[in-house]
Structure 1
Amino acid sequence: MTAIDSAAAPGGSGGGSPFHEGELAAQSRAGVREAADAAGRRGIRDHMPDQHRQFYEQLPFMIVGGTDRFGQPWATMRIGHPGFVSSADPRTLRLAGTTLPGDPLDGAWYPGAFFGGLGIELPTRRRNRINGVVVASADVALTVSVSQSFGNCARFIQARTPGRIDIGNSPPGQAAVQTQGSALSDADRALLERADTLFIASAHTSPNAGAARGVDVSHRGGMPGFVRVENPVTLCIPDYAGNRLLNTIGNLTASPLAGLLVPDFESGDLLYIAAKAEIVWEGAVLNEFEGAQRVIRCHVRETRRSLGVLPFRWTPPQYAPQFGTATAGTANRVQPVTPTT
C-alpha cells in the first residue's frame, strides 16, 4: 500500500514535476527518484478532491505550518468546532477558529504568506495535506489558495480520541503562561522522551522551487522513546520508510530550518521548537533506530512551551499496528513494516 492516497482520481499539476531541487536530490540519494516521480505526478494535485474538502470540514483542529518574519518555520495548531475549516471551491481553503495563546505564527499570516496544512483525524488515522499561499486574512480567518494537495496513508499514527474541555480565560491582564529558552528544559526533555507524536514544519521558499515552493507540515510518530534527546540542544528523530516523496527531507536538504510541535496529550501543553536540521544518511546513529532510513538531527535554536492551552483531553493511545507488539520504551528497537508499493 502506497502512502499516497490516489482514491480520488489522478490530480495532475500541469504535467511538470511537482518537486523542487532539494526533494529531487533527496529522492536520488534514497534511490527512489523514479518511483517518487510517478507517484507525485499521479497523486499530488493542484486542487482538493471533494473527499478531502469534506474531510477538512469535520475536523476540530488542524496542524498548520508557516514562517515568521525571520524565515523560521513553525508548526502550530488551529482549533475550532467542526466546520471552522471550509472550502468554497477545490482550490480554496478557509480557516476560521482560534489561534491558541503563544502561537509563534500569530501575526504572520498576511496575503502572500506561504501556508502548509495537515488535516489529521487521530481516531481514524486519516490524514490529508495541502500547501498554498494566503490570499486574504481578516481577524483570525485565513483564506488559502491551494497549490498542492495530496493524501497520506495511516502509517505510524497513534489513534486517540479528543474530548473538548473548557480551559476558561486568563484573568484580566494576565496572559497564558509560556516559557521560552534557547535549550530544552528538564520538562521539555521529559515530554520528548515519552512522546509518541510530533509534527514538523519545513520550507523552501526560493523562487526557483516553482510549483513546489512553499511550506510543508507533516506528522511523525513512534512508540514512546522514538525521539532521542542527545543533549539540551540536540535531538534526533528517525525517518522511516513512507511515501517516498521525501517532502520534509527535501525541504531540509535545500533549507535546513525546521519547526517542531510536540503536544502533551495529558496536560494540554504545546512545545514548540525552532531548530536547524541536518539529515544523517549513514553512520552509527542509524543503528540506534532499527528500520530508520535516515535520521533528522535537530539543533535547537529556540524553545517555547505554552502551558495548558490545548482545549482537549485524550483517550489513551492505540499504537499504530506497524509497531506490532512493541511496548513503551522499546521504540528504538522496533522494525516498521516496509510499504509494498
Structure 2
Amino acid sequence: MGGYHRGETAVQERAGFARQAGQARGAIGNTVPDVAVAFLADQPHVVMGGADERGRIWATQLTGEPGFLTVPGPHTLRIGALPPPEDPLAAVLAGAGLGSGPGVASEPVRIGLIGIEPATRRRMRMNGRAVRDGDGLRVELDQVISNCPKYIQKRGHQPLVGAPAPRTAVDSAELGPGQQRTLRAADTFFVATASDRGDADASHRGGNPGFVQVLSPRLLRWPDYAGNAMFLTLGNLELNPAAGLFFPGWATGASLHLTGSARTVWDEEEVARTPGAQRLVEFEITAVREVAAASPLRWSAPAYSRFNPRTSG
C-alpha cells in the first residue's frame, strides 16, 4: 500500500495532477515518525472510518485522555478506547479479530484514521488493520500519510464540566429539518471511504459555513478544493462509491453520522458555479444516526482558515 492504486492514479490523471501526485508519493509511508508519536500522545480524540457488519461505510470519533493514543512500535498504533454502544462501528470493532459469536469479525477490521489538532491546524492520516486489544484497539499500519493544514478551522478544546447528559441515538433514512440546518452551518466534516479491496481511509473536509450544500433530505454536495494532489478519497470513490460522513457537534458533543454513496462531478459548467471548487462531490444518504452526548469534549468557536474560498450562500 505504499503507492497509489488504480483508482487514485485514474483521478490524478483526469484532474491533470499526475506529476504532482508522483512528487507527493514520498509523503506516504508505513511507519510513524518520532515527531508524530509525540503529536498523537497529545491528542484527546481521533477520527476513524470503516465498514460495519453490513458493509456500510461510516466515519466516527474516539476520545480519551491525552495519552490514549500510543505507538508501541513503528508500524503499530494502540488506541486506548472503544466506540460506545450507540456508535455505528461499535459492534464490528468490539470483537475485531476475535471471531467468537454472530456478526463478530474473525479477521482484523480495516480502518482509516486521522489525528487532527484544530488548535495548531496539524493532522496526519493512518490506515491499517485493527484488532480488539483489551479495552481498546491495536492497529497494524499499512499507510502513514503526512497532510497539509489547509481548510482546518482553528479551535481549542476543554473537557466537559459537570455530569454528562445521557447518550442516546436516533436513526433515520434521511435528514430532518434540524439536521439540514446543522449541515448548512457546518465548517468541517470527515469522510470515510474504502477501495474496492476494502482498504479504508478517513479524511478531513473544511470550508466556510455554506460549503456543504443540502440539495434534498437525502442528497448533499460539497466542493473539492485544491489539495495535496494525491486524491486518496476520490480515488477510492472511483472504485467503490460507498462512503460515510461524520459531522462533530463542536459545542454540544453530539455526533451526526451519515452513510451512503458518493460520486465525483467533473462537469466544468456545474463546477464553475461553486467558488473555489475544482470538482464537486455528491453524496446520496441511505442511513442517518445522530448520537447525543457522544463526546466529552467541548470546543471553542472557530477561527476560519485563510485558505477557505468564499461561499455563494
Structure 1 position 49 matched with structure 2 position 64? no
Residue 125 (str. 1) matches residue 109 (str. 2): no
> Aligned runs of 1:45-194 on 2, under 5 Å?
45-109=29-93, 110-111=96-97, 112-134=108-130, 136-166=131-161, 168=163, 176-194=167-185
Number of equivalenced pairs: 301
More deviation, 183-192/309-318: 309-318
Corresponding residue SS for 1:120: strand
Query: Residue 66 of structure 2 aligns to a residue in which SS?
Result: coil
**Structure 1 position 101, deviation (Å):** 4.9
Counterpart code for 1:185: G
Give the Cα separation in 1 of the matches to 2:133 and 2:284. Answer: 35
**Kept in 1: contact 2:196–2:236 (CA 8 A):** no
CA contact (8 A) 2:81 2:137 kept: no
Shift of 1:34: 2.4
Give the Cα separation in 2 of the matches to 1:233 and 1:97: 32
Equivalent residue, structure 1, for 2:191: 200
Say if 1:21 and 1:102 are closer, same or farther in 2 by CA, change over 3 A.
same
8 Å Cα contact 2:251/2:300 also seen in 1: no
RMSD of aligned Cα (Å): 1.8
Is residue 32 of structure 1 aligned with residue 17 of structure 2?
A: yes
The amino acid across from 1:290 in the alignment is P
- The CA deviation at 1:93 is 0.4
Deviation at 1:261, TM superposition (A): 0.1
Report the residue type matching 2:231 in the other structure.
L
Task: Spell out, residue by residue over 1:258-287, the C-alpha distance to the aligned partner (whole angstroms, 9 max, x if none).
Answer: 100001212221100002111101144313
Could you tell me which runs of 5 or more consecutive residues in structure 2 were left unpaired when the two chains were aligned: 98-107
Shift of 1:166: 4.5
Contact 2:76–2:138 (Cα < 8 Å) also in 1: yes
Q: TM-score, normalised by structure 1?
A: 0.84
Q: CA deviation at 1:297?
A: 0.2
Q: Is residue 101–residue 176 contact of structure 1 (8 Å, CA) maintained in 2?
A: no
Report the Cα distance in structure 2 between the residues aligned to 1:23 and 1:265, rounded to whole angstroms: 32
Residue equivalent to 2:103: none
1:81–1:97 Cα contact (<8 Å) kept: no
Residue 50 of structure 1 aligns with an amino acid whose one-letter code is D
Q: Which residue of 2 aligns with 1:331?
A: 311
Task: Report the secondary structure of 1:321's partner residue.
Answer: coil
Per-residue CA deviation, residues 197-247 of structure 1 (Å, 9 max, x unaligned), is 0000000142xxxxxx61000000000111000011101011101000000
Separation in structure 1 between the aligned mates of residue 135 and residue 288 of structure 2, nearest angstrom: 24
Contact 1:275 1:298 in 2 (8 A): yes
Structure 1 gaps, min length 5: 1-11, 207-212, 334-341
Q: In structure 2, which of residues 205, 209, 227 is the aligned counterpart of residue 242 of structure 1?
A: 227
Q: Does the 8 Å contact 2:196/2:239 carry over to 1?
A: no
Aligned residue for 1:37, secondary structure, equals: helix
Could you tell me which residue of structure 2 aligns to residue 8 of structure 1?
A: none
- Pair 1:288-2:273 in alignment: yes
Change (3 A) 1:50 1:270: same
Q: Residue 308 and residue 288 in structure 1: after superposition, are their counterparts in 2 closer, same or farther (change >3 A)?
A: farther
- d(CA) in 1 for partners of 2:163 and 2:202? 29
Instruction: Give the structure 2 partner of residue 301 of structure 1.
Output: 286
CA contact (8 A) 1:271 1:306 kept: yes
Identity of aligned residues (%): 35
Secondary structure, counterpart of 2:12 in structure 1: helix
Deviating 4+ runs (over 4 angstroms): none
- Distance in 2 of aligned mates of 1:77 and 1:191: 18
SS across alignment from 1:142? strand
